Amino acid sequence: MAPSLSSLASRPKRCAYVSFLAGDGDYVKGAVALAKSLRRVRSAYPLVVAVLNDVPEDHCQLLRLHGCIVHPIEKIQLAGSDRVRYAAAHYVINYSKLRIWLLEEFEKMVYLDADVAVYDNLDHLMDLPNGRFYAVPDCFCERTWSHSLRYKVKYCQQCPDRTPWPQHLGPPPPKYFNAGMFVFEPSKLIFNQMMSALLATPLTPFAEQDSLNAFFNEVFSPLPLNYNLILPMLWWHPENVPELETVKVVHYCAPGSKPWRFTGKEEHMDMDAVRRLVEKWWNVYEDKPMDYPALSNMSGGHVQQLLSAHLTHGIALSFLSVFPYREVELTDRWSKPSQHMTPLLHYSLLIQ
Ligand SMILES: [Mn+2]
Ligand SMILES: [Zn+2]
């Protein structure tokens, strides 16, 4: 099985990547791709996935099979949050993500959204000095920003000279980061302070991202764009975009850009760079040898337990296609079918 939080806590350097998942939808595919992408670049630290209780057990199991540490968290329900006009309806759920600050088993973590993929090793971020909040500055040019003064005056911090901030409005707004990727230190104290701040201020369209920006404003240290390439940069600020091959983290945040739902028909989605990056995601997602590290390290007994206790047919079948030698092992072990055998194990014997 994947190591537990407590056994990880005894490692010399207690660091981890962490993501967040809610609901029973297809976002789990993003989390699987994220896990595989981190392993592909040989990350030394595990991926914790903080899940709300509406994530179905077979999705949690799938994440565990991919080597993730699944960590249940409770929903953060804020009074009045159902009356806020969020930039996207699902943002209301994102306040719960703040609970990752309670993971004090870890001294430093890199948070990554489930619609993010990692294409180069990021372990060095764990060595950044403590006491700062590291993230990549956002872009305000998408329509999701249309509620904001920044959008209305066509000001974007990615190119402050293109349309300068109007003088009569006072100083330009403070630097604002995208919260799809950030480096932080878990702390219950900070969590409690953030919750108090949330309760004391009105809720705003970008939900937890706005709150994090307000809260960490003074300790925010910008990271270079290649640590969180938000796709709108490709069409709003092509002159700022680094060589795609050097981009370490891609954030598939633009409407229509989720690779697992990609049709190429939405605005900007026909760009060559977008297609290349979506293809890159699929190469990771479908990289069979990168599948199910948890099972490959497991003893036959454990695999049996898993197969009989938790797995759905779909997962079992794809597992068997990745580890055919395991199939033989299982078949040997179960060569005399007994009445205790689950229908699932029957199935694996039949398809050999
Ligand atoms: Mn995202
Ligand atoms: Zn912009």
Quote the ligand 1 centre to 133 CA distance (angstroms): 18
pLDDT tens per residue across span 253-299 = 999 999 999 999 999 999 999 999 999 999 999 998 788 776 666 65
Give the pLDDT confidence score for residue 326 in this predicted structure: 44
Distances (CA, A) of 177 to 17, 185, 227, 230, 347: 19, 17, 12, 11, 50
Residues identified as active-site: 97
* Ligand lying closest to the C-alpha of residue 137: 2
Q: Among the bound ligands, name the one nearest to the CA of residue 148.
A: 2
Tens digits of residue pLDDT in 76-96: 988 788 788 888 878 888 999
Q: Which fold has domain 5-289?
A: Spore Coat Polysaccharide Biosynthesis Protein SpsA; Chain A (3.90.550)
By the CB criterion, residues less than 5 angstroms from ion ligand 1 are 113, 115, 180, 253
In the predicted structure, residue 67 carries a pLDDT above the cut 60 = yes
Closest listed residue to residue 185, CA positions, set 123, 244, 104: 104
Nearest alpha carbon to residue 21 among 9, 35, 4:
35
CA–centroid distance, 251 to ligand 1, in Å, is 6
Neighbours of 286 (CB within 10 A): 11
CB contact at 8 A, 239 and 226? no
Report domain extents, the chain: 5-289, 298-350
Q: What is the CA(295)–ligand 1 centre distance, in A?
A: 29
Distance 283 CA to ligand 2 centre (A): 29
For the stretch 170-218, pLDDT in tens is 998 999 999 999 999 999 999 999 999 998 888 888 889 999 999 999 9
Q: Say how many Å lie between the CA of residue 302 and the centre of ligand 1.
A: 35
Cβ–Cβ under 8 Å, residues 153 and 146: no
- The ligand that comes nearest to the alpha carbon of residue 233 is 2
